[in-house]
Each structure stands twice: as structure tokens, then as C-alpha cells.
């Protein structure tokens, strides 16, 4: 490792440490869903995947120790367990594994870029090869377990809709309240305008989310038909389909039934993608349009209460100050919470959303002041 410069070692260490953490999280995640798998074969395969990921994490831990002799920079196991538990509850199993696989994929890509910048040729080749081998492993998990294409990434279900609705509810109603406040000196018009805006916005956002999710679902179904991908069927339905097929080929009913059962057993034994199907990791359907609509509209309505509520029991100026401060603080929290899923800086994410809210409120307030009373 003396062939590496201090800067190269630091960059490698940061990247390798992330990959080690993601490996541990996958191992824990697969172990958790193995406990609820009903089929013994599926349970065994999931435990095998979990064991392999844990073994891989040991390999990456060794790399951390080689890069830094103290070996103190790896993530504590209890934090990994806590993070996995929290994120699987929030995102669901499918959303969690999409998140973690994409996170690892990005880290491997970063590692390959770092490898190309290493001045020592031998070390550069070594880390490039490591990154290349790991990328093949990720592709296998994507396709065989999650049923993902190389470009595909889901929207984390309802989390996307909740954040989207809450953000829009805060920004738009805060801006509306600020605009009316700039044009009037009474709380009542502000309250009426805020409530009307909140109701209209919640309905509009809910309808928009429904149509958007429905359109996405229709496009996905059409693409699946183009690729020849059938909707998921039960064991009985699949066997009946096979019996009908072999019966049409001239086999007698009993013969077709025997062949169909053997073919299905063979397919089930060799198809690794059934792992994902069994435990709900492969995407058969997109997020329900009704759920998307309800979550987006509801989160918009709840968030919009924050800039409106102070005007119901406080004087005009104290209510305005409270509404602005509460809305800005909530915007920061919502923005910071996105960092859990985007893997970006939580401070930067929170400040970004907070500044957007402040800018929107300032613009509408200025417009309100310019309108004659």
C-alpha cells in the first residue's frame, strides 16, 4: 500500500468503507426476509445469499484494514442493524433492496473512477479489476433477485409521494399566505385564502398523483407485453396453462397433467428469479395509483396546516412570524429526510428545500405589497 499517495489512499478508503457498509446491510436485509419466507427452498436460498454478502463484507473489511492499519473506520454493526430495520420499515423490502443495490452500484462506479486516477499502474489495475468483478455481482442480484433491468430504479413507494406532497403543501401555501399577508392587514382573509388553497391543492395534487401513477403503470404493463413478460400467476394457474398447452399438442389429459407438473417443478427448481417473486421483491405492479393519490393529497393537506394554523389563534404579526418560522423549520426537516434515500448531505438537502420556500414566500409577499388594497 506504500505505492499509494495519501490522497489516493483516502479516496479509496472512503469508497471501500461505503461498499463494506452496503454489503453488511444487504446481508442483514436478506436474513430478515428469509425469516418470513414460507417456502423452505426460498428460505435456504435467501440465507445463502445473506451468507455470501456477509462473506463479501469480510473481504471489504480486509481491504479497509489494508488501507488503514488501525482498521477503525468500518461501520459499527449495531448501527448497520438499526439502519436496516428503520429503512425496511419505511421503504418496505422491495424499496430497501432497490435503494441498497443502487447505492452499492454508485459506490462501485466511484471506485472504478478512483482506480483509473491512481498513479501506480499495478495498484490501478488491481482496483479496476476489483470494481469490475463487483459490478458483475451487482448485475446478478439486480436481475435474478430483484428482477430489475440495469437502468431501472423504483420510486420507493409512498415515501416519494409523502415527501413530494409535503414539500408542495408547505411551499405553495406558505407562498399563498405570504402574498395575501402582503396585501392585507387582517387575519381573516389570510385564513380563508389559506384554507381554500389547501383544499384545492390537496385535491389537485391527489388527482395529479393518481393520473401520473396510473400512466406509469399503463406504460409498464405495455412494455411488459412488448417484452413478452406475463403477469405473475399462482402455481395452480401456471400448471393449468401448461396442461392446456400440452393437451393442444396431442397429449391425453392425464399425460398432459403429468408433463405439466414435471415441467413446473423443473422450472421452479432452476429459476432463481422466483426468490424475488416469493418474497415480494420483484416488481409485478407499480405503486398503486389510489395509494399514490391518497398519500400525496393527504401529506399536502397536513403540511399546509403549518403556515395556516397560527392565524386561527394569534394576532396578525405574531401569526405571520410563527407561520414563516414553523414552515421554514419543517421544510428543512423534510429536505433533510430526503438524504436518507438520496445518499446526499442532509444539511445541503435541508437548506436547499428551506431556501426554495423562503424565495417563494418572498416573491409572493412582494407581489402582495405591490397590489393596491
Residue 196: is its pLDDT beyond 90? Answer: yes
Query: What is the phi-psi region of residue 287: left when phi exceeds 0, alpha when psi lies from -120 to 50, beta otherwise?
Result: beta
Rounded Cα–Cα distance for residues 361 and 366 (Å): 9
* Cα distances (Å, whole numbers) of residue 366 to 2, 188, 369: 61, 20, 5
pLDDT digits (tens, 9 = 90+) for 136-190: 888 777 776 666 444 344 444 566 677 778 888 899 999 999 999 888 878 888 9
Task: Identify the band that residue 359 occupies on the pLDDT scale cut at 50, 70 and 90.
Answer: very high
CA angle (142, 47, 105) in 5-degree steps: 25
Task: Identify the band that residue 239 occupies on the pLDDT scale cut at 50, 70 and 90.
Answer: confident
**Fold of the 6-145 domain:** Ferritin (1.20.1260)
Model pLDDT, residue 266? 58
Task: Identify the band that residue 308 occupies on the pLDDT scale cut at 50, 70 and 90.
Answer: very high
Q: Please give the DSSP secondary-structure letter assigned to residue 144.
A: I
pTM to 2 decimals? 0.58
Grid cell at residue 352:
436547499
pLDDT digits (tens, 9 = 90+) for 248-287: 777 778 777 877 777 666 555 444 444 555 555 555 445 5
Grid cell at residue 86:
428503520
Rounded Cα–Cα distance for residues 317 and 343 (Å): 39
Residue 334: is its pLDDT beyond 80? Answer: yes
pLDDT digits (tens, 9 = 90+) for 112-131: 889 888 988 888 899 999 98
Rounded Cα–Cα distance for residues 47 and 35 (Å): 9
Rounded Cα–Cα distance for residues 147 and 279 (Å): 12
Residue 90: is its pLDDT beyond 50? Answer: yes
More reliable by pLDDT, 241 or 118 = 118
- For the CA atoms of 339, 116, 25, 34, the dihedral, rounded to the nearest 10 degrees, stands at 130
Of 17-31, 213-227, 268-282, highest mean pLDDT: 17-31
More reliable by pLDDT, 223 or 314 = 314
Instruction: For the chain, give every domain's residue range.
Output: 6-145, 158-218+288-370, 232-283
Amino acid at each position: 500500500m506504500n505505492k499509494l499517495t495519501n490522497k489516493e489512499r483516502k479516496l479509496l478508503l472512503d469508497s471501500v468503507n461505503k461498499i463494506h457498509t452496503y454489503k453488511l446491510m444487504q446481508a442483514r436485509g436478506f436474513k430478515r426476509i428469509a425469516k418470513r419466507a414460507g417456502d423452505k427452498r426460498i428460505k435456504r436460498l435467501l440465507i445463502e445469499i445473506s451468507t455470501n454478502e456477509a462473506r463479501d463484507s469480510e473481504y471489504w473489511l480486509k481491504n479497509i484494514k489494508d488501507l488503514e492499519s488501525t482498521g477503525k473506520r468500518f461501520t459499527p454493526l449495531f448501527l448497520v442493524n438499526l439502519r436496516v430495520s428503520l429503512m425496511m420499515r419505511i421503504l418496505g423490502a422491495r424499496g430497501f433492496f432497490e435503494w441498497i443495490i443502487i447505492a452499492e452500484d454508485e459506490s462501485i462506479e466511484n471506485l472504478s473512477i478512483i482506480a483509473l486516477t491512481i498513479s501506480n499502474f499495478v495498484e490501478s489495475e488491481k482496483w479496476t479489476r476489483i470494481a469490475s468483478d463487483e459490478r458483475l455481482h451487482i448485475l446478478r442480484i439486480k436481475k435474478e433477485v430483484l428482477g430489475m433491468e440495469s437502468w431501472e430504479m423504483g420510486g420507493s413507494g409512498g415515501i416519494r409521494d409523502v415527501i413530494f406532497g409535503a414539500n408542495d403543501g408547505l411551499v405553495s401555501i406558505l407562498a399563498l399566505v405570504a402574498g395575501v399577508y402582503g396585501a392585507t392587514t387582517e387575519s381573516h382573509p389570510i385564513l380563508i385564502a389559506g384554507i381554500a388553497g389547501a383544499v384545492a391543492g390537496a385535491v389537485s395534487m391527489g388527482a395529479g398523483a393518481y393520473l401520473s401513477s396510473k400512466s406509469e403503470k399503463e406504460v409498464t404493463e405495455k412494455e411488459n407485453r412488448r417484452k413478452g413478460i406475463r403477469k405473475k400467476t399462482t402455481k395452480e394457474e401456471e400448471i393449468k396453462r401448461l396442461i392446456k398447452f400440452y393437451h393442444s399438442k396431442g397429449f391425453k389429459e392425464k399425460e398432459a397433467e403429468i408433463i405439466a407438473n414435471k415441467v413446473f417443478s423443473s422450472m421452479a427448481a432452476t429459476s432463481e428469479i422466483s426468490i424475488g417473486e416469493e418474497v415480494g421483491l420483484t416488481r409485478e405492479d407499480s405503486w398503486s395509483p389510489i395509494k399514490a393519490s391518497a398519500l400525496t393529497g393527504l401529506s399536502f393537506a397536513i403540511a399546509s396546516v403549518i403556515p395556516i394554523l397560527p392565524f386561527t389563534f394569534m394576532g396578525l404579526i405574531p401569526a405571520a412570524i410563527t407561520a414563516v418560522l414553523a414552515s421554514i423549520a419543517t421544510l428543512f426537516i423534510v429536505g433533510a429526510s430526503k438524504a436518507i434515500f438520496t445518499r446526499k448531505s442532509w444539511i445541503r438537502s435541508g437548506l436547499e428545500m428551506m431556501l426554495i420556500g423562503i424565495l417563494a414566500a418572498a416573491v409572493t409577499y412582494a407581489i402582495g405589497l405591490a397590489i393596491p388594497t
